[in-house]
Amino acid sequence: MTPEVVEAHGVRLRPFRADDAADITVGCADPLTQRFLTGLPAPYTEADAVRWIAEGAPAAWAAGGAAYAVADPATDRLLGTIGLSQPVPFRAEAEIGYWVMPAARGRGVAGAATRALSEHAFATGTARLELLTQEENTASQRVALAAGFRYEGVRRAASPSRGGGRHDLLAWVRVADDPPGPAPRPLPDLPEGRLTDGVVTLRPLEPADADLMYRLHTLPEVVANQAPPVPPARAAIERRCRLSESQWLVGGIARLLILDAASGTPAGSCGLSVSDAAAGEGSVGYALLPDWRGRGYATRAVRLLAGYAFGPAGLARLAAGTVPDNVASHRVLEKVGFRREGLLRGRLPGLAGTRVDDLVFGLLKAELR
């Protein structure tokens, strides 16, 4: 590739100019940029920006990559940067990366620039592009999906962290013959951001829910119905809440909080995971706080979750596994339309090397009550 100007999707990709230095300094010194681009100098100064324009960007081109300023086509003012790195000529492969000025965020700049550079790269011989994001950088994960990149897996300890240590990266990939448009999502966002029947509301789990989730999932009766029946560590619950949106975006599991619709008071939690994508099967789970049991809230929550699973998520079948003596949970499932399908003997781990039976329920779309 050569440093030619690319205009597409409402943005301009152009070579850097000396007068971009002040804007680059603001963008690269921004706390969010610093948080997710751990390779940047910290603190980032105008001298670093001048060095990038004079040396860093030309070096990226010389190495077979690309380094563009993302500019507003009307004003030519810098909105961010985007480029290609880690080229592997034999595989016709490269890594795409970007950042956006704080004032330009929320306007689709990153997505537009990613689409523009991807199309240009494919048109000039690249066959495969990889986009790497930190697990908590859900904004960048949404950019990847919108630009047609599909989740491919976790790169364990792939990047150094500021202050020492290493962290995982999520890999998103687009190849030249992928269809145009956004990548398909096994678990799309909720319509209007939540589900409700007027009595119960479900909303996505958030980092601020960690205290509530720890209290719920360490209740003895809740732990007793888990496999193995061991209370989770506080750090594990915090991580679950912190990464909930990311795990939803990659299509693994949709975790939700169950709320009383009238007051907004939390009543419990539930979740939908894609257990067999090829077969169109998902599985559900749920738990309620003591004060909200016996009011039909679990039944309403599972019914709402099943409606989302068979509707926007496009699943064909739902399964739910329970311990055989959890009669209350069996009643919830049966009220929604689930049928008992069988006992899987010793399927789940118990305590001290023991095994626990799993009573499995199944639901088809036409059976939802």
Amino acid at 195: L
Within a domain: residue 184? Answer: no
Average of pLDDT values for 92-100? 97
Q: Please compute, for residue 10, the number of CA atoms within 13 A of its CA located in the half-sphere on the CB side.
A: 7
Question: Three-class SS of residue 143?
Answer: helix
Q: What is the largest CA-CA distance in the chain?
A: 71
Q: How far is CA 89 from the centre of its chain?
A: 30
CA distance 326 to 316: 26
Amino acid at 29: A
Tell me what percent of the residues of the chain surpass a pLDDT of 70. 99
**What DSSP assignment string belongs to 244-261?**
HHHHHHTTSEEEEEEEET
The vertex-112 CA angle with 110 and 118, nearest 5°, equals: 95
Cβ-based neighbour number of residue 156 at 10 Å: 9
pLDDT in the model for residue 348: 87
Q: Are residues 138 and 37 in the same domain?
A: yes
Bond prior to 73 in cis (omega within 30° of 0): no
CA distance 362 to 107: 43
Q: Are residues 166 and 220 in the same domain?
A: no
Q: Are residues 163 and 61 in the same domain?
A: yes
Within a domain: residue 180? Answer: no
Q: Are residues 126 and 267 in the same domain?
A: no
Domain CATH number, residue 42 = 3.40.630.30
Within a domain: residue 106? Answer: yes
Q: Are residues 86 and 210 in the same domain?
A: no
Nearest to 264 by CA among 197, 200, 212, 308: 200
pLDDT in the model for residue 162: 86
Question: Which of 128, 143, 175 finishes a domain?
Answer: 175
What mean pLDDT, rounded, does the chain reach?
A: 95
Domain hosting 267: range is: 191-367
pLDDT in the model for residue 52: 97
DSSP 3-state helix, strand, coil percentages of the chain (rounded to 5)? 35, 35, 35
Q: Are residues 152 and 72 in the same domain?
A: yes
Q: Is the pLDDT of residue 135 over 70?
A: yes
Within a domain: residue 181? Answer: no
Q: Are residues 196 and 145 in the same domain?
A: no
Within a domain: residue 288? Answer: yes
Q: How far is CA 174 from CA 93, 98, 116, 137, 289, in A?
A: 10, 16, 13, 19, 43
Q: Are residues 206 and 117 in the same domain?
A: no
Question: Which of 175, 201, 234 finishes a domain?
Answer: 175
Average of pLDDT values for 310-338? 94
- Express each pLDDT in 42-59 by its tens digit: 999 999 999 999 999 999
Q: Are residues 34 and 167 in the same domain?
A: yes
Q: Are residues 37 and 125 in the same domain?
A: yes
Within a domain: residue 1? Answer: no
- Express each pLDDT in 242-270 by its tens digit: 999 999 999 999 999 999 999 999 999 99
Q: Are residues 141 and 49 in the same domain?
A: yes
Q: Is the pLDDT of residue 2 over 70?
A: no
Within a domain: residue 215? Answer: yes
Within a domain: residue 266? Answer: yes
Q: Are residues 223 and 358 in the same domain?
A: yes
* Burial of 295 from C-beta contacts in 10 A (0-12 / 13-18 / 19+): middle
pLDDT in the model for residue 292: 95
**What DSSP assignment string belongs to 69-127?**
EEE-TTT--EEEEEEEEEEEGGGTEEEEEEEE-GGGTTTTHHHHHHHHHHHHHHHTT--
Q: What is the pTM of this model?
A: 0.91
Question: Which of 146, 175, 204 finishes a domain?
Answer: 175
Average of pLDDT values for 127-141? 97
- Express each pLDDT in 57-89 by its tens digit: 999 999 999 999 999 999 999 999 999 999 999
Structurally, how many domains does the chain consist of? 2
Which band of pLDDT confidence, cut at 50, 70 and 90, is reported for residue 1? low
